[in-house]
Amino acid sequence: MSAGANGQTMQQRKLGKSGLEVSAIGFGCMGLTSSYGKPGERREMIAVLRRAVDRGVTFFDTAEAYGPFVNEELVGEGLAPVRDQVVIATKFGFTFDSGPLSPGLNSRPEHIRAVAEASLQRLRTDRIDLFYQHRVDPNVPIEDVAGAVGELIREGKVRYFGMSEAAVATIRRAHAVQPVAALQNEYSLWERVHEREVLPALEDLGIGFVAYSPLGRGFLTGAMAAGTRFDSKDFRIGLPRFAPEAIAANQALIAVLRELADAQGATPAQIALAWLLAQKPWIVPIPGTTKLARLEENLGAAALALTPADVSAINAALARVPVEGARYPESLQRLTGR
């Protein structure tokens, strides 16, 4: 159990066999500064981070690409007073030479080192706990990437190596050079493609799984209606699954989720997170929010223990409701599964 500053506790989980231990529910920081419309006031976002710590959250996920750069700066400021109590994950793998709206891939070893040094400064720390390759760079052998992170680990600047949206064969190659502590992929009640090949491979290798967008980028909370429209700066406006017709069609999924939640005395978001926690003991979801009330709701899922019968009932109910819309447009989808 991890105890927050006010004594509240949360179950801990180990990410595979790496030895890295984190709170059962982490915190995805991206939305604090970008991607989901106009960000909140800086002091309010820092208050959300610190409340998460008070509630026992020890795992915080950021990236240089979020902003870019400003998210790491916010996380660094927000967590500086409690740095030794938390695990901070960040990412490398992009270059912004063409501007923040059209980043290119770059996982060359010298670039990885430069990103690490810059991230350490922005995060106000002397080590990165978990350093993910954000997306696989087909122009750089994954063995070179793993080797570069391994050097940073030996120097004490990084503690653990992670990957994101990588193919199983690529993960195996990297893991043979430098053990991979965790894979971060999108995984939720409406995005389950990784169950077929990825999760069995991770179990075989002893690698943990960090589930981003565990609430379907907000959809699985039930807060979106058929007429929901997004701010022009909202990342979701370009995702097929959030097109108006898809949002309308996917209300059928929310109707089923509400029924399931009511039966458990919970909310749709809590059912979605508890379902993920029930899949494997080495899976850690990282929901994000800018609202204190949503933070409390999300963390309440850690106390909701679903039985195998509950999980089977959820799976059966949702299997009858097809999900409308792809998760990414082709331009983003082709960056995954390499």
User: According to DSSP H, which parts of the chain are helical?
Assistant: 42-54, 70-79, 109-122, 142-154, 168-177, 198-205, 244-249, 251-264, 268-279, 292-300, 308-319, 330-333
CA distance linking residue 184 with residue 4, whole number of Å? 25
Q: What is the DSSP letter of 215?
A: T
CA distance linking residue 219 with residue 89, whole number of Å? 25
Catalytically active residues, by annotation: 66
Residues near 192 by beta carbon (within 8 Å), at least 6 away in sequence: none
Give per-residue burial for 153-178: e unless 16+ CB within 10 Å, then b.
beeebbbbbbbbbbbbebbbbbbebb
- Choose among 207, 298, 212, 183: nearest CA to 30: 212
DSSP string, 295-325: HHHHHHGGG----HHHHHHHHHHHHTSPPPS
